[in-house]
Structure 1
Amino acid sequence: MLYQVEVIISLKKGIRDPEAETIHKHLILRKGFDSIKSVRAGKYLLFSVDTDSPEKALEIVKTMCEKLRIYNPVIHDIEVRLSG
């Protein structure tokens, strides 16, 4: 069976996020959205995994992300979940 697995990679709290700071300061605030107090940027990946269970699909993607260093565990948090 084919499962869609989402991976969301974001900077850990306390790590400066220059991309998000630029979006916030130079776009959001300048366009009058003063109620937006902060922004965090990240990466979104979607994998199609052919396996026999949703649990196995999640395990495969988590293992792959760690072994292939898709993210840096020192500065990034990662969320792996089924799509939909």
Structure 2
Amino acid sequence: MSAAAAGLAEYDVTVTIENREGLADPEGETILRDLVLRSGRGGVRSVRTARILRIRVEAADARAAEADVERLCSELRLYNPLVSRASVRAEGAQ
């Protein structure tokens, strides 16, 4: 049975993982210090880095796709919730 016949659609889910506020971001600090400020761009005050995962799933709707990926991230420990936070957003697949 195809996904469409089962009432499922494909969703592209984006997971953005970044350090929690207040925690050091050494990569962001290096980018700010060594690239941005040394190039003379004085208006930049901070740089924070993040990892992005793009996962395509089949689900009944966008909310279910997001819940599936949140569960996947948690079960597989794709990030450490003590030091990082993750945001999950689903869009219909193109």
TM bucket by the smaller chain? over 0.9
Look up the match of 2:24: 16
Deviations 1:25-72 (A, max 9, x none): 000000111100000011001110112211110000000001100000
> Aligned residues: percent identity?
37
Structure 1 residue runs without a partner (length 5+): none
Would you say 1:77 and 2:85 are equivalent positions? yes
The aligned counterpart of 1:44 is 52
TM-score normalised by the chain length of structure 2: 0.85
Match of 2:6 in 1: none
TM-score normalised over the length of structure 1: 0.95
1:60 pairs with 38, 49, 68, which one? 68
Which segments of 5 or more consecutive residues in structure 2 lack a partner in the other structure? Answer: 1-8
Flag the structure with larger Rg. Answer: 2
Q: Aligned runs of 1:27-38 on 2, under 5 Å? A: 27-38=35-46
Query: Which 4+ stretches in 1 moved above 4 angstroms?
Result: none
CA contact (8 A) 2:32 2:47 kept: yes
Three-state SS of the structure 1 residue aligned to 2:56 is strand
Report how many residues are paired: 84
